[in-house]
C-alpha cells in the first residue's frame, strides 16, 4: 500500500521548494513523518548552513594575567575605547 499525501511544496526547515510529499508508508512503519522528494525519489535532506564560530583573539595591550578573549570584530573598538594612547 504505497499511499503518499501531497501536502506541501516547501520544506519548513530549510525553505527549499520542490516536489515534496509526506511518506505515509514510512510513518506507518516507524511512527515518524518524512518528506519524499519525488524528483529524485528519495527522502528530502535539508541543506542547512552551519554558522561559523566567531574568531576570537586577545588584546595585546591588556594585562596578560587578566585579559579575556574577545571577537576579532570588536578588537579595534576595544583598543580605541580602553587603550586610547596605544593605537
Say what the pLDDT of residue 22 is: 87
Say what the pLDDT of residue 86 is: 53
Domain ranges of the chain: 4-43, 51-87
| 86 vs 38 pLDDT, higher one | 38
- pTM of the complete model: 0.45
The rounded distance, in Å, linking the Cα atoms of 61 and 57 is 12
pLDDT tens figures, 20-66:
888 899 999 999 998 888 888 899 988 767 778 889 999 998 888 88
Residues 13, 9, 38, 21, CA torsion sign: positive
Per-residue pLDDT, averaged over 3-22, amounts to 74
Say what the pLDDT of residue 10 is: 81
Amino acid at each position: 500500500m504505497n499511499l503518499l499525501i501531497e501536502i506541501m511544496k516547501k520544506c519548513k526547515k530549510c525553505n527549499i521548494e520542490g516536489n515534496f510529499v509526506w511518506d505515509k508508508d514510512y510513518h506507518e512503519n516507524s511512527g515518524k513523518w518524512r518528506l519524499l522528494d519525488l524528483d529524485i525519489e528519495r527522502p528530502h535532506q535539508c541543506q542547512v548552513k552551519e554558522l561559523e564560530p566567531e574568531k576570537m583573539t586577545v588584546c595585546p595591550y591588556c594585562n596578560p594575567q587578566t585579559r579575556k578573549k574577545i571577537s576579532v570584530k570588536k578588537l579595534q573598538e576595544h583598543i580605541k575605547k580602553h587603550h586610547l594612547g596605544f593605537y
